[in-house]
A and B are shown apart, each in its own frame.
Chain A
Amino acid sequence: MTGYLTSTTFLVLLTKMVVIFGVVLTSLAYVTLLERKVMAWIQMRPGPNRVGPLGLLQPLADGLKFLFKEDIIPTSANKIIYIASPAISLIPALLVFAVIPFGPDLQITDLNVGLLFIFAVTSLGVYGIVLGGWASNSKYPLMGGLRASAQMISYELSLTLSVIGVLMIANTLSLQELTELQGGVWFGFVPRWNVFLQPVAFCIFVVSAIAETNRLPFDLAEAEQELVGGWHTEFSSMKFAMFFLAEYANMITASSVATILFLGGWNGPSFGPWWVEMALPTLWFLTKVLGFILFYMILRATLPRIRYDQLMAFGWKVLLLLALANVVVTSLLVAVGVL
């Protein structure tokens, strides 16, 4: 075993893990700043720009603020679950990055069931919310927690079904192979992305991902005007920060998965000298993920909130049926040989 621990494969793996984890956590902090800036610009105001140049040290200031806040634990709360639920919420959100390919060789592990692994792990994210809401032992968190988790498990169905069309075309569950199959171009300039082969599935995936991550317009469960704070009402300081981070991590995860499945992952035109060419796939990937994240934020700043019963009706009566219809039509096209 010590032979394995000192071998180069393990050291390369360890380096990849440290780098990817570091990059994800840093970008998580800066995505919070980006959100506040984007929402501010849409609302015609400057956003945070006092701390550091252009407000770039704002996440640091926020982190310090959260650390120094008083850590209140309600006396009637269920202590163990109360303290554990932010971690239960954050761990699945970060665990997904173990299988996401950032480049042709930049992936911590290429599971042959990588796509199912992503859905399995994100389905565990429900527990953080429902346990956080229950452990607070108070009516707003409980209602918010149950609502949010019911919403999440309802939209998980259409999320998973919308991906089946992509799977049937690609015939593989491994994310690296899914990305490689989207390389190349048609007619010289149209990239061979899955979004052109499966437009309906892409729309269903995006809407389900927004509902899955509890973002506006589907965030009734945590809206300040409706439920005080939803399931994270009673949480303060670092525990609240972890819930907060978990929501943004889920958002980045959903953007990355949408990029890989539908927008071609790290594929993109490559040009320039060899050192530019080596970095280009990762840059393309990060650009596409960033575009998605900006789309999320613009949605948050522009659309009104949807009522909870409208949300559930939409998820079960419209999206699920559309996703099933997409599966049927795609399977027919694949069987005939068109796709």
Chain B
Amino acid sequence: MTEIVFFLFGAIALGSAINILVQKHVLYSALSMIVMLGSIAGLFVLLHAEMLAVVQILVYAGAIMVLFVFVIMLLNVGREGESPDPLRWLKFVGIPAGLFLLSLLSSSVWHAESGPQTASTFIGSPEAIGSSLFTDYLLPFEATSVLILIAIVGALVLAKREL
């Protein structure tokens, strides 16, 4: 049963990722990206990481992609590929290179051993993540909050019309 769900979500993730590359209009790419984020959230649930799955939908698909969609609509971009691409040949060289990279990555993880397959569902629960986040990883947590503040100020300053 889990295999079927895995293949379903995996196929949707791969299909929508390829669709992001194939589409000419960047809004369709953004919408395929939302589908891909949803399928990755499904894969997270299969991996007993339900808190992360929901946070992925909340943050990635519900906020970051809304930002993308807003910018695309406000800038009102046309279709890509209006001027001839001087590097068209790269696409054909790129595919074997990409497959080579894929084979490198796959061979390195082919013999990955998973430890005792603890079917423990406690790992992905909010309590586990919360207790780890606020005790072992407290410093990175506070640092990321400062990072977000910097990003807010930076985005505001960069997008202003006159400083």
Residues of A within 8 A of B (CB): 1, 4, 81, 111-113, 116-117, 119-121, 123-124, 126-127, 130-131, 134, 142, 146, 149-150, 153, 156, 173
Contact = CB atoms under 8 A, between A and B. Distances in A.
Interface in B51-109: 51, 54-55, 57-58, 61-63, 66, 69-70, 73-74
Contacts of A124: 57, 61-62
Nearest to A149: B66
Contacts of A134: 27, 73
B107 to A, nearest CB: 33
- Identify whether the interface residues of A are mostly helix, strand, loop, or mixed: helix
Interface of B: 1, 4, 27, 31, 34, 50-51, 54-55, 57-58, 61-63, 66, 69-70, 73-74, 125-126
- Identify whether the interface residues of B are mostly helix, strand, loop, or mixed: helix
Contacts of B125: 112-113
14 contacts: A81-B27, A112-B126, A113-B50, A113-B126, A117-B54, A120-B58, A123-B62, A123-B63, A124-B62, A127-B34, A130-B69, A134-B27, A134-B73, A150-B70
Contacts of B66: 123, 126-127, 130, 149, 153
A92 to B, nearest CB: 10
B46 to A, nearest CB: 15
Given A112-B126, A116-B55, A121-B57, A126 B62 contact: yes
Nearest to A171: B127
Given A111-B50, A127-B66, 5 more contacts: A123-B66, A127-B34, A130-B73, A131-B31, A134-B27
